[in-house]
Amino acid sequence: MKALVYTDTQKLEYKNFNEPNLVNGESIVKVSASGICGSDMHAYHGKDERRIPPLILGHEISGTIQEGINKGKKVVLNPLITCGDCEYCQYEREHLCKSRLLLGMNRPIERQGGFAELVSIPNKNIYELPEKLHMNKAPIAEPTAVALHAVELGENSLKKKLNNSRVLVIGGGAIGLLSALILEKIKSCSEIFLSEPNKNRAEVCSNTLRSKCLKPNDPLLLENSFDLIIDSVGLEITRQTAIKLIKPGGSIVHIGLTQPAGEFDFRKATLQEITFIGTYCYTNKDFEKTLELLSTSKLGNLDWIEYRDLSKGAEAFKQIHDGSCSAPKIILIP
């Protein structure tokens, strides 16, 4: 089969690769579309010890079952594979399973990803494509589930109603934009701001949202003025921004994995009782809820997604890397 293979830091090659073998309890899916995630970019930059070249990246996937049960069925894949038996899995917090792994990772266990013509996945991770959700848009389900999980963690941490809260989303990538859309369209939050330094991407977000889309240094972003801040970037500077702008008693939800360490004002966090929530992935229920939201177009028509041919995937990665791509999400089509 043809695949876009991560072969070295900032290097991807479109070439022949071994097809997956059918394994008991799994199916082989013919990939129709696969989205580029921020974690794929971390690997591309050589900063993810879980993804070592050579490897097929990609975990936001839709397609058709080619081999296995329900052959021929159109599906969306939940790429988060868990044990199903530990205390976290038993109490519906499977995203915290100590044995969790994703498609497109080879540490600790190899799982080739979706930037290919075919991918293998456990049957329990396969969901039927909702009738009104277009196959090419369906890969957005995975980052939408991440955003939904983050927004609801923040909502549950607040002492006031979310729709009466002042909220800032840091970052206009897919998860940041989806978080803002969920806040607007699902949570009916009336005062939302999104900060994004990339002018072209900020324009896309502004055209998609009712909320104000601002540069990170905009004077409207006042110190101690937000009840909830969602940091979808995860840089030292964005964490410093979040702790500066959060109100006493407010909550910061930290999704981004870009920079793992750095200075942070723990004194303010302590003296002003700031809640800091780290979050990664989502639960199975989040994923199922997401499919319902997308199939009923409750988050809009998703026309901010950009599509590229898989064979041109290396160019798409480069454009995301150098900031010349305005789209919050690029989906590759084999």
Domain positions in the chain are: 2-137+302-333, 144-278
Take residue 243 and report the two structure tokens written for it. Answer: 């702790």
318: three-class secondary structure by DSSP? helix
| pLDDT value for 68 | 96
pTM, two decimals, is 0.97
Cα dihedral sign, 179-251-97-53: positive
The count of other CB atoms within 10 Å of the CB of residue 164 is 12
Give residue for tokens 């206009």: 172
Q: For residues 161 and 190, what is the distance between their CA atoms, to the nearest angstrom?
A: 11
Take residue 327 and report the two structure tokens written for it. Answer: 């789209």
**Residues 34 and 332 sit within 8 Å (Cβ to Cβ):** yes
| pLDDT value for 172 | 97
| pLDDT value for 240 | 98
Q: Specify burial of residue 199 (Cβ count, 10 A radius: 0-12, 13-18, 19+).
A: exposed
| pLDDT value for 7 | 98
Exposure string over 219-254, b if 16+ CB within 10 A, otherwise e? eebeeeebbbbbbbbbeeebbebbbbbbbeebbbbb
Per-residue pLDDT of the chain (334 residues; tens, 9 = 90+): 999 999 999 999 999 999 999 999 999 999 999 999 999 999 999 999 999 999 999 999 999 999 999 999 999 999 999 999 999 999 999 999 999 999 999 999 999 999 999 999 999 999 999 999 999 999 999 999 999 999 999 999 999 999 999 999 999 999 999 999 999 999 999 999 999 999 999 999 999 999 999 999 999 999 999 999 999 999 999 999 999 999 999 999 999 788 989 999 999 999 999 999 999 999 999 999 999 999 999 999 999 999 999 999 999 999 999 999 999 999 999 9
Does domain 144-278 fall under CATH 3.40.50.720? My reply is: yes
Domains 2-137+302-333 and 144-278 share a fold: no
| pLDDT value for 256 | 79
**Residues 300 and 184 sit within 8 Å (Cβ to Cβ):** no
| pLDDT value for 257 | 84
301: three-class secondary structure by DSSP? coil
Q: Is the peptide bond before 108 cis (omega within 30 degrees of 0)?
A: yes
Could you please state the CATH topology (level 3) that the domain comprising 2-137+302-333 is classified under.
Quinone Oxidoreductase; Chain A, domain 1 (3.90.180)
145: three-class secondary structure by DSSP? helix
